[in-house]
Amino acid sequence: METSELIRPEDIDIAPLIAGLTRWVEFETPSERPDLIDLLLDDVEAAFDGLSVQRRRHAAKDGHGGMLELHYAPEGSSGRPAVIMGHVDTVWAAGTLAVRPVRREGDRLFGPGIFDMKAGSYLATETLRRLAAATAPTPRPVTVLLTGDEETGSYASRAVIEELARKAAFVLIPEPSFGPDIAVVTSRKGWGRFTLRAKGRSAHAGGNLADGRSAIVEVARHILDIESLTDFDGGTTFNIGTVRGGTRTNVVPAEAEIEIDMRFTAAAAGEAEVAAMLARSPFDPDITLEVEGGLNRAPYERTEAVERLYTASRALANALGMALGETMRGGVSDGNLAAATGVPVLDGLGCGGRGAHAIDEQIDLATLAPRAALMHAMMVSKEFQLQALIIDR
């Protein structure tokens, strides 16, 4: 399809998109409720009844939400598929909508999970549905994957994400977008998680304090030491997110633990920090120290292939009359997992807005039509796909 034949943002009626997105948000889908996630996936799957879209469900497992794969391969499409991956789980507990229902204020649409990332996942799914309903041609097959456990680490969905990424020509991630030109994300930091536990010796704080060995004092020393390792210039950061320990004020605490978040830009630096973290020794030789954890996701790096995919996307966006900047993010996404397989990834293709995981979570409705137009164009434009790929993997 030539650029002149593409759907432009001004040609899109956003009213049905707002209604469809509102319906998605009104399905509450907290990560810890796979039963509720299944209700939304059931509804999405039903929307493809009668269409030439292959559907594959993955059941919820070990408390993690299920998944839905949608595959569209119209006559004439060939090669590796274009794959779009989004999650439908949110950080918001069931019952949140009773307190904060979906509402519109001018050009803003508010709702729990709407920015991160139901807007992007909905647009990808709805774009595919419209293509299939029109039996529209696409240069290559298109796959949309909806997962239900991204917010808790993608432990159940990782294998499916990696499997589809290895088979893909490129992967698009409609996570939230940022900045005045709704920039896409071309790199993300890697992520490590650790739990450090100290075991000391309890004692009476008044009667025999000297006999005790405080686990809280031990972890406090590690907190300061670990936090001091943060190197903003080098891109490696540490955050102690939780602290637990002790029983009563008059008892020397025998046990304490902390949870540690690590972000890093370079893979080699991350691996070195993991080794150092797991090898930590106690400051007090009478304390027993245990550290467990490791890398959850490698960095999503701006490789030559990512640069080419972004450059082609920016040219396509410009042809549709919109700017398309790029940014780097410290937060991770399933784009990290896909990128680790070697496939070109472009992230941050969702709607602009703000308030991820916050009570004012919202999207900017002015970005809805531009993102829908870009998503459609990336699926159907042969010229874009030729420019985006160094080779057909």
- Contact present, 191 and 296 (Cβ < 8 Å): yes
Find out whether the peptide bond into 117 is cis, omega within 30 degrees of 0.
yes
Q: What gap in Å lies between CA 121 and CA 90, rounded to an integer?
A: 12
Average pLDDT for 289-317: 96
Backbone torsions φ then ψ of 110, nearest 5 degrees: -105, 150
If you average pLDDT over residues 206-231, what whole number do you get? 97
Neighbouring-strand partners of residue 291: 196
Measured CA to CA, the distance from residue 246 to residue 214 in angstroms comes to 9
Q: Report how far residue 36's alpha carbon sits from residue 20's, in angstroms, rounded to the nearest whole number.
A: 18
Angle between helices 368-380 and 119-133 (to 10 degrees): 50
Which DSSP letter does residue 11 get? Answer: G
C-alpha torsion sign, points 124, 128, 134, 139: positive
204 phi and psi angles, rounded to 5 deg: -75, 125
Cβ-defined contacts of 37-41 (< 8 Å, 24+): 37/65, 37/66, 37/88, 37/89, 37/148, 38/65, 38/66, 40/88, 41/66, 41/67, 41/68, 41/88, 41/146, 41/148
Please, which pLDDT band fits residue 389 given cuts at 50, 70 and 90? confident
From CA 128, how far away is CA 206, in angstroms rounded? 69
- pLDDT band at 249; cut points 50, 70, 90: very high
Instruction: Tell me what pLDDT residue 4 has.
Output: 54
Kindly give, in sequence order, each residue whose CB lies less than 8 Å from that of residue 296, ignoring residues fewer than 6 positions away. Answer: 153, 191, 192, 193, 332
Pick from 67-76, 172-181, 375-384: least confident: 172-181
Pick from 353, 322, 363, 389: nearest CA to 3: 322
Q: Can you tell me which residue has the tokens 């602290």?
A: 243
Closest to 6 (Cα-Cα) out of 319, 309, 389: 319
Query: 90: which strand partners?
Result: 30
113 Rama class: left (phi>0) / alpha (psi -120 to 50) / beta:
left
Predicted confidence (pLDDT) per residue in 49-93, tens digit: 999 999 999 999 889 999 999 999 999 999 999 999 999 999 999
The per-residue pLDDT for 182 is 79
Does the pLDDT of residue 390 top 90, yes or no?
A: no
Contact 121, 146 (CB under 8 A): yes
Kindly provide the b/e burial profile for residues 355-393, where b requires at least 16 CB atoms within 10 angstroms of the residue's own CB: bbeeeebbbbbebbbbbbbbbbbbbbbebbbeebbeeee
Q: Kindly tell me if the per-residue pLDDT of 254 is higher than 90.
A: yes
User: pLDDT > 90: what percent of the chain?
Assistant: 93
| Axis crossing angle, helix 368-380 with helix 14-25, rounded to the nearest 10 | 100
What is the DSSP pairing of strand 170-172 with strand 82-87?
parallel
393 pLDDT above the threshold of 60: no
Show the domains of the chain with their CATH numbers: 3-188+299-388 (3.40.630.10), 190-297 (3.30.70.360)
pTM for this predicted structure: 0.91
Report the chain's terminal Cα–Cα distance, integer Å. 21
Q: Could you identify the residue written with the tokens 């397989």?
A: 341
Q: Are 89 and 154 in contact (CB under 8 A)?
A: no
Exposed, middle or buried by CB within 10 Å (0-12, 13-18, 19+), for 247?
exposed
Residue 306: its H or E element: helix 304-319
Q: Which two tokens stand for residue 127?
A: 């774009």
